[in-house]
Structure 1
Amino acid sequence: MTPEAAGEHSRVGPRDVLRLLYGHRRWIVLAVLLTLGASALSLAQPLLVKKVIESTAAGSAVGLVIVLLVVLFVGQALVQGLAQYVLARTGEGIVLGVRLRLIKKVLRLPMAVYDRQRIGDLISRTSTDSTTLRLLIAEGFTDAVTGAIGLVGVVALMVWLDWLLFLIVLAMVAIASVIVASVLRGIEVASLVTQQATGAMTADLERALGAIRTVRASRAEQRETDRIGSRARSAYAGSVRMAKLDAVVAPAVELAVKGSFLVVLLIGGMRVAERQGSIADLAAFLLYMIYLVGPIGMLFQSFSTMEQGVGAYRRVTEVMAMPTEQDAAPRPVSKPPSMAATTPSGAPVLEFQDVWFGYEPRRPVLRGVSFAVPQNVQVALIGSSGAGKSTVFALIERFYDPDRGRILFDGRDIRTLSRAEHRARIGLVEQHTPVLYGTLRENLTYAAPDAGPDEVDRVVELAHLTELVSRLPRGLDTDAGEHGMALSGGERQRIAIARSLLARPRLLLLDEPTAHLDAANEEVLRRSIRQTADQCALLVIAHRSSTIRAADLIVVLHGGRVIATGTHDELLGASAHYRLLAGASRHAGDALPR
């Protein structure tokens, strides 16, 4: 996004910041009270200095006043330090709360958001942007609160001591404020551009590392380096621009405070020389000017710092505004005539009834799909690429909901169930068989964390993982490696199957389960799948003839429609498209049996 485009976004106002602070208001009140106390102790010190000078001039004792001055000085330092700690701790607590909400949000976004949004950018918003948000809260806000409280007290006492000299200081500060205000908008825009570039860099790096073997095999290291480097350079350019603008703030503070100090010293000294004022009043006023450096510097720097955090806050709020995956409100579902005399116990495990769906409303992927998966039956779902097989799986898992039609599970419309309740009865084995970082045991029990050792041993044997576990150095407690790269493709496939079976699903979805297996392991797994069919129904996306031949029922998809169903022998005689698929498989070296 260009700076001009970024500038078109709505600004983050005080209400947005206060919304973040609301849940921590007690700690903030405590920090403000401590800051007020520290400011009071600090503001009393110049008055005591004034008293020391006047008492010395009058020949009075000053010992007790000096002791009190030391006590106030030490007390002010202690109270101010405690106030800063409470504010900083509160700021970190706010950042933690934002991070926890972001983590909860990004793990519950609708699948359509993951399809559009780069995963690396979501990670960047949760980590990098939430860290940068500390500038807005833990530093910017604390400086603003501390500076504002200190400024009010200093200004009140300066006006009381000499309002004319204060007007001189006010004029100098006003000039500096105009300069600072002119650069704050640029800092905000540069911050947003920097955060976006950092997010894009993280996304590109995640993309490259996620396919590092492909990158190496394609000799694309330099191309990826250039791509990611360009993002890094964009972030660098934004940060440099932000630093240039931020560098204006310090000289502005110098102009406001040191310049006014010199002018006040000059004019005040002339007035004392002309006996129009006392040296004690001038000394106290100058001390307050020195004290003014802190509050003004804090305020100017807090404005600059908060503008740097605004870009991160915008990106965080964009994620927080995204919808989460929601369950539709339960609604009465009329029973179709074909099921009028059917009890739920006799209903198919799964049934599609005239289902239409498209990732884009005007481009349907499925067009009136209807088929059923009976209980304890293995069904093969076949079709050419783009026929809609993976979309059928996505709808069964309720990653998406149909645009029209119904999907029944055990005779009930799945939209009448919560997504969690529905998914608890389904196992999914993806074609790419993701294995999470962690031990083999943690991967197996991922969907059933409370499973006992006997249950784990059962699925290990059922998925024929016994030999693998026995040769691993720590058995089931061996690390599987990043993305399971310490395992072969076939081993990852069997781990994914065992993981799904451990939850004892009513329906097991298998996306080409034998894709990564050699002939020997394929035959072993096929026997396991047949054994699994005694416990649950199976719906298998299949391309290999051996997998299709093992199915009790075959559903043929073409162009988003079911064009044929039946056994292998029935389809060879009745479906020309099935015979075409058989011929294509034969030329690919995996012919369907004729």
Structure 2
Amino acid sequence: MTALFGLLSGHWRAIVAAVLLTVVGTGIGLLQPLLVKDIIEVAQSGQPVTAAVLFILLGLFVLHAGVDTLGRYLMERTSESVVRGLRRSMIAHLLRLPVRIYDRERMGDLISRTNADTTLVREAVAYSFVDLIAGSIAVVGAIALMMWIDPNLFLMVLGTVTVAGLLLLGFLSGIRNASERSQAGVGDMAADLERALAAIRMVKASRAEKAETERIGSRADEAYAAGVRMAKLESIVGPAIELAANGSVLLVLLFGGIRVAQGGSSLGELVAFLLYATYLVMPLTEVFQALGTVQRGLGAMNRVGELMALPKEIDRAEYAGGPDPYAAGEPEEERPALEFRDVWFRYDRVPVLSGVSFTVPRHGHVALVGGSGAGKSTILALTERFYEPDSGQILLDGRDVRELSRSQTRTRVSLVLQDNPVVRGSLLDNIVYAAPETTREEVDRVVKVVNLGDLVSRLPDGLDTEVGDHGVRLSGGERQRIAIARALLTRPSVILLDEPTSQLDPVNEAALTRVLRSVAKECALLVVAHRPSTVRAAERIVVLEAGRVEAVGTHEELVAASATYYGLATGFLAGEAV
């Protein structure tokens, strides 16, 4: 409950107004049976019932409905605002998690928590507070008035309601647990579906539709089983409330009718008491249903809390958001754009880099080569500060990156990934993604640098042409050049490229090699390279072996001096990817 109350911070004024309106409506509702009692007693005495009295009764009904409707609208609107704030917080948190978390967690499940789970939280906020508070007041008011009218009949009603209430309370914790398991099942299903859709071409090419349907379907079955258990528990609520309602009415009619027949009570008192019995059961129904909704909401809040408890990517306090250390001007030309000094790194206790040292000059093209698992991609990830080294230093333009916030680091380092992500939107949207305030003149400049002019002129709407989901309307080479253009727009000191030519045909590979020569005149390039043209285009080659720098030099120097590189170069000359 503490977690749910915590969400309401800043919304108490609207909540109090909604509750007060509902309480006023409840009070108006409690007056109606007394008015009915008086009308019946007046009629029994032989006096005429005036139209004014009937209009007052009708007015109370209308006023009750109007006030209650306004109160519930306020609460619904407030709950939407609460959940909007929760979702925005979750989205901001999700996008600021360390890369290690993304490596470990399932994306579909995380997305499900921001969607399905917050919907349950909304229901708990929208209905539970008004129903619990107003329902409790209505119950207390009905009990007081029933005891005033006929204490003996009240004890009979209390007995049936107590039996039903005790029966329901025993199932509330079960509803919460079943709800949590059901939401976990939905999250697992969403994660598996996201996994399959992200690789849908591979799924179809592998004729794996049936296998994936079975896999994802089994997750749906797990969610179904948990949902059925929750439905089984919740199905007890209706009959239990019906037992309390029908039992109370029957007892009141039976024993109250006998008392009226014997002259121990008036017909007006019986009718009023019967109405209050109904008023007692209806608020009790709302209270128990609200408790069930709260239990489901608490189960969802547990999953939301697990997500929000994941540690964010946090900078050291003295640097985060601080002034840009480079604000005084560009770094001196002789300083390397990037330097690794005796860098060591483990991933999940497995050594990946062991004392790596090398430099990348301010302009030019440096290639990282090595066998699988040598540590090439790890070097890019450390430079981009997706991870932090265990020891050693990484210097960017002569400054230790630990003196910078991650934002300041990533402003000066751009990363072009192997799979070249392209987001849904226009070609222009994708190029300016990292620098949305860029002028059209600057966009035109980088389009020319990366040789995208032919593509822009060929597209029906030029830069404003939609590229489709994941850029399906573009070739691999075009997506690669778009990624490089996006990286160039931020005017970085270093651009990191992870195997940029691995998925390109020879024509596109040659075109991209020419693009890289142009880019190298503007900033430093550090390229993880496997293909011969990319390696030979580099002015310096860093050879990695088992997480260590085995040699550094040009292609000709390394063929003569490095056995590791000679073995790799043999593969290059044979046209193989290494």
Q: Indicate whether the TM-score tops 0.5.
A: yes
- Which residue in the other structure is 1:426 paired with? 413
- Which residue in the other structure is 2:464 paired with? 477
Does the CA contact (< 8 Å) of 1:329 and 1:416 recur in 2? no
The partner residue of 1:113 within 92, 101, 104 is: 101
| Matched letter for residue 256 of structure 1 | A
Structure 1 CA distance for aligned equivalents of residues 156 and 6 of structure 2: 38
| Matched letter for residue 41 of structure 2 | E
The partner residue of 2:283 within 295, 307, 315 is: 295
Does the CA contact (< 8 Å) of 1:146 and 1:298 recur in 2? no
The partner residue of 2:443 within 446, 449, 456 is: 456
| Matched letter for residue 310 of structure 2 | M
Q: 1:464-520 CA deviation, whole Å, 9 max, x = no partner?
A: 111111111211111111111111111111111111111111111111222233333
- Which residue in the other structure is 2:496 paired with? 509
Larger deviation, residues 143-152 vs 572-581: 143-152
Does the CA contact (< 8 Å) of 1:39 and 1:150 recur in 2? yes
The partner residue of 2:272 within 284, 288, 296 is: 284
Structure 2 CA distance for aligned equivalents of residues 589 and 304 of structure 1: 63
**What is the DSSP-based 3-state SS (H/G/I as helix, E as strand, rest coil) of the residue aligned with 2:351?**
coil
Does the CA contact (< 8 Å) of 1:141 and 1:306 recur in 2? no
Deviation at 1:559, TM superposition (A): 0.8
Structure 2 CA distance for aligned equivalents of residues 121 and 17 of structure 1: 21
Structure 1 CA distance for aligned equivalents of residues 268 and 130 of structure 2: 34
Structure 1 CA distance for aligned equivalents of residues 384 and 280 of structure 2: 63
Does the CA contact (< 8 Å) of 1:330 and 1:417 recur in 2? no
Q: 1:526-573 CA deviation, whole Å, 9 max, x = no partner?
A: 222122222111101111121111111111111111111111122122
**What is the DSSP-based 3-state SS (H/G/I as helix, E as strand, rest coil) of the residue aligned with 1:493?**
helix
Larger deviation, residues 461-470 vs 582-591: 582-591
The partner residue of 2:302 within 289, 314, 329 is: 314
**Unaligned 5+ runs, structure 2:** 320-330
Does the CA contact (< 8 Å) of 2:343 and 2:389 recur in 1? yes
| Matched letter for residue 67 of structure 2 | V
Structure 1 CA distance for aligned equivalents of residues 109 and 272 of structure 2: 55
- The reply to whether residue 124 of structure 1 matches residue 122 of structure 2 is no
- Which residue in the other structure is 2:378 paired with? 391
- Change in Cα spacing, 1:75 to 1:587, as seen in structure 2 (3 Å) is same
Deviation at 1:33, TM superposition (A): 0.9
5 Å-filtered alignment, 1:338-357, equals: 345-357=333-345
- Change in Cα spacing, 1:406 to 1:590, as seen in structure 2 (3 Å) is closer
Deviation at 1:128, TM superposition (A): 1.8
**What is the DSSP-based 3-state SS (H/G/I as helix, E as strand, rest coil) of the residue aligned with 1:424?**
helix
Structure 2 CA distance for aligned equivalents of residues 90 and 578 of structure 1: 65
Structure 1 CA distance for aligned equivalents of residues 147 and 81 of structure 2: 38
Structure 2 CA distance for aligned equivalents of residues 372 and 551 of structure 1: 14
| Matched letter for residue 226 of structure 1 | E
Structure 1 CA distance for aligned equivalents of residues 83 and 433 of structure 2: 29
Deviation at 1:590, TM superposition (A): 6.7
Deviation at 1:139, TM superposition (A): 3.1
- Which residue in the other structure is 1:553 paired with? 540
Larger deviation, residues 539-548 vs 520-529: 520-529
Does the CA contact (< 8 Å) of 1:352 and 1:406 recur in 2? yes
- Which residue in the other structure is 1:339 paired with? none
- Which residue in the other structure is 2:324 paired with? none
- The reply to whether residue 364 of structure 1 matches residue 351 of structure 2 is yes
Larger deviation, residues 122-131 vs 578-587: 578-587
Structure 2 CA distance for aligned equivalents of residues 330 and 92 of structure 1: 37
- The reply to whether residue 238 of structure 1 matches residue 219 of structure 2 is no
Structure 1 CA distance for aligned equivalents of residues 115 and 402 of structure 2: 35
5 Å-filtered alignment, 1:367-382, equals: 367-382=354-369
- Which residue in the other structure is 1:497 paired with? 484
Structure 2 CA distance for aligned equivalents of residues 425 and 241 of structure 1: 54
- Which residue in the other structure is 1:335 paired with? none
Does the CA contact (< 8 Å) of 1:50 and 1:280 recur in 2? yes
Deviation at 1:306, TM superposition (A): 2.3
- The reply to whether residue 180 of structure 1 matches residue 168 of structure 2 is yes
Deviation at 1:588, TM superposition (A): 4.4
- Which residue in the other structure is 2:74 paired with? 86
| Matched letter for residue 586 of structure 1 | L
Deviation at 1:79, TM superposition (A): 0.6
The partner residue of 1:53 within 33, 40, 60 is: 40
Structure 1 CA distance for aligned equivalents of residues 369 and 73 of structure 2: 64
The partner residue of 1:258 within 240, 246, 251 is: 246
5 Å-filtered alignment, 1:518-557, equals: 518-557=505-544
Deviation at 1:435, TM superposition (A): 0.7
- Change in Cα spacing, 1:590 to 1:246, as seen in structure 2 (3 Å) is closer
Structure 2 CA distance for aligned equivalents of residues 49 and 518 of structure 1: 88
Q: 1:130-157 CA deviation, whole Å, 9 max, x = no partner?
A: 2232232223344323322322222222
- The reply to whether residue 465 of structure 1 matches residue 452 of structure 2 is yes
Structure 1 CA distance for aligned equivalents of residues 332 and 506 of structure 2: 39
- Which residue in the other structure is 1:167 paired with? 155
Deviation at 1:584, TM superposition (A): 2.8
- Which residue in the other structure is 2:572 paired with? 585
| Matched letter for residue 277 of structure 1 | S
Deviation at 1:345, TM superposition (A): 4.9
Deviation at 1:183, TM superposition (A): 1.7
Deviation at 1:176, TM superposition (A): 0.7
**What is the DSSP-based 3-state SS (H/G/I as helix, E as strand, rest coil) of the residue aligned with 2:538?**
coil
Structure 2 CA distance for aligned equivalents of residues 524 and 233 of structure 1: 51
Structure 1 CA distance for aligned equivalents of residues 269 and 143 of structure 2: 15
- Which residue in the other structure is 1:324 paired with? 312
| Matched letter for residue 324 of structure 1 | K
The partner residue of 1:68 within 51, 56, 61 is: 56
Structure 2 CA distance for aligned equivalents of residues 299 and 471 of structure 1: 65
- Which residue in the other structure is 1:337 paired with? none
Does the CA contact (< 8 Å) of 1:493 and 1:516 recur in 2? no
Does the CA contact (< 8 Å) of 2:4 and 2:298 recur in 1? no
Does the CA contact (< 8 Å) of 2:424 and 2:470 recur in 1? yes
Of all paired residues, the percent bearing the same amino acid is: 54
- Which residue in the other structure is 1:445 paired with? 432
- The reply to whether residue 21 of structure 1 matches residue 22 of structure 2 is no
Structure 2 CA distance for aligned equivalents of residues 498 and 53 of structure 1: 85
Structure 2 CA distance for aligned equivalents of residues 108 and 94 of structure 1: 21
- Which residue in the other structure is 1:403 paired with? 390
| Matched letter for residue 103 of structure 1 | I
Does the CA contact (< 8 Å) of 1:330 and 1:415 recur in 2? no
**Unaligned 5+ runs, structure 1:** 1-13, 332-342
Q: 1:260-314 CA deviation, whole Å, 9 max, x = no partner?
A: 2211222222222332222222221111112223201111111222223332221
Deviation at 1:589, TM superposition (A): 4.2
5 Å-filtered alignment, 1:130-279, equals: 130-279=118-267
Larger deviation, residues 515-524 vs 307-316: 515-524
- The reply to whether residue 42 of structure 1 matches residue 35 of structure 2 is no
Deviation at 1:167, TM superposition (A): 2.0
Structure 2 CA distance for aligned equivalents of residues 149 and 96 of structure 1: 30
Q: 1:75-119 CA deviation, whole Å, 9 max, x = no partner?
A: 111111111111111112111111111111111111111000011
Deviation at 1:436, TM superposition (A): 0.8
| Matched letter for residue 555 of structure 2 | H
Does the CA contact (< 8 Å) of 1:345 and 1:410 recur in 2? no
| Number of residue pairs matched by the alignment | 566
| Matched letter for residue 369 of structure 2 | I
| Matched letter for residue 519 of structure 1 | P
Structure 2 CA distance for aligned equivalents of residues 507 and 138 of structure 1: 51
